[in-house]
Structure 1
Amino acid sequence: MVSNSSGQPTINTPLSPAQDLAQTLALCLAEAADDRKGGDILVLQVADVSFIADYFVIVTGFSRTQVRAITESMEKAAEDHYHRLPVRQEGKAEGTWVLLDYGDVISHVLMPEQREYYDLEAFWGHAERLPLPFQSPSEG
C-alpha cells in the first residue's frame, strides 16, 4: 500500500481504463450513499478474488425508507455522472436488501439485521478495502 499526498492509502497496482472507470463509479455510488446518511459504507475491490464484479459497495440503511432513498440516490448519481443504469436490481420492493448490479460494480444496501446476518465483509474479507475520500481515516 502506498500513500498519496494527503496521506490516504492508495492502490499500488496500476488500473486498466475499465477498472479505473469502475473504481470511480464505485466511489460515486459510495458518496451518493453518504449523501443519504448511509452507515458503515465500504467499497471492496473484488476483481482479484472474484469474476462477479470489480467492486462491491456495501452500505447500511436504518429503515426501509432510507434503504430505498440511498438506492435511488445511487441510481441517480450513476445515471447523471456516468450515464449508467443498473443491468439488474433486486429487493427494492421489500427494502431490506437492495442490490444494484452495474456489471463491474455491484452495490448492496442492507438493513442492519441483513448486513449482520449475511456478513458480506467477512465473506469478501480478503478483498482490498478502498479508502473513501469523503471520510476521515477514523471513520473508515
Structure 2
Amino acid sequence: MSTDFITLEINKIFEDKNLEFPLNLAMSAAWILGNFKGINLKVLDVTKSSSLTDFFVLGSATNPTMAQSMADEISKQLKAHGYEVISREGSKKGDDWILLDFGDIIVHVFLDISRNVYDLDNLWENAKEVEIPNSYYFSSDDEEKSDDATGKSYF
C-alpha cells in the first residue's frame, strides 16, 4: 500500500463533513488499523464516562512488527494534520500493547494474543461503540463480492 494512497484516504476522512472533530481523528486511526490488516477494531465514545479523552480506538495486530507499523503510520498521518502524539507507551521490542495518546483520542494497538489480558473491551463496555464502515477494512465483504471492470466476479 503506497503512502500516497494512505494520505489520500486519510484526507478524505478529515474532509468528511459527517465526521466532526475529534471523531475524524478516531476514524482516521481506525482506517489505518483496518487497512494494515488489524483485527477486532473498535471505536468507543467515552465522552460521557471519562474525562481523559473523547474516543478510544482499539485494534489488534497479529505480530509486533505489524503493531509497530500501525502505530507509526497513525502517528505520521495525524501529525501531517497537525496532531502530535502527547504520549507513546509500549514501543519497546516485546511490548504487547502500544498506546498513542493524542489528547482527544487514545489509540490502543494490542497484540491479539494479549488483548484479553488487559480487557479494555469489558472495562469500557458501557461506552457507546461507533460503527466502523466496512470500507475501512483491508478487504470488506462488499469489495470481495463486487465485479471488476471486466464484469467478472472473483467470488
The answer to whether the superposition gives a TM-score over 0.5 is yes
d(CA) in 2 for partners of 1:113 and 1:35? Answer: 20
Is 1:118 the equivalent of 2:148? no
**Structure 2: gaps of 5 or more residues:** 1-18, 142-155
d(CA) in 2 for partners of 1:64 and 1:128? Answer: 29
2:37 maps to 37
The Cα shift of 1:34 comes to 1.2
2:46 maps to 46
Aligned amino acid, residue 85 of structure 1: E
Please list, as runs of the form range in 1=range in 2, the aligned pairs for 1:12-23 lying within 5 A after superposition.
Answer: 20-23=20-23
Between the two proteins, the alignment pairs up a number of residues equal to 119
CA contact (8 A) 1:44 1:127 kept: yes
The Cα shift of 1:96 comes to 1.3
Deviations 1:27-86 (A, max 9, x none): 001101112111111000001011111000000011010110111111122122x21111
Partner of 1:126, secondary structure, is coil
Partner of 1:21, secondary structure, is coil
Task: State, as a whole percentage, how many aligned pairs show the same letter.
Answer: 28
Aligned amino acid, residue 98 of structure 1: I
CA contact (8 A) 1:36 1:73 kept: no
Please list, as runs of the form range in 1=range in 2, the aligned pairs for 1:1-140 lying within 5 A after superposition.
Answer: 20-80=20-80, 82-94=81-93, 95-133=95-133, 134=136
Aligned amino acid, residue 85 of structure 2: P
Question: Under a length normalisation based on structure 1, what TM-score does the superposition of the two structures give?
Answer: 0.79
The Cα shift of 1:111 comes to 0.6
Question: Under a length normalisation based on structure 2, what TM-score does the superposition of the two structures give?
Answer: 0.71
d(CA) in 1 for partners of 2:125 and 2:117? Answer: 15
- Please identify runs of 4+ aligned residues in structure 1 that moved more than 3 A: none
The Cα shift of 1:106 comes to 0.2
d(CA) in 2 for partners of 1:35 and 1:113? Answer: 20
**RMSD over aligned Cα atoms:** 1.9
Larger Rg: 2
Partner of 1:69, secondary structure, is helix
1:11 maps to none
d(CA) in 1 for partners of 2:35 and 2:78? Answer: 14
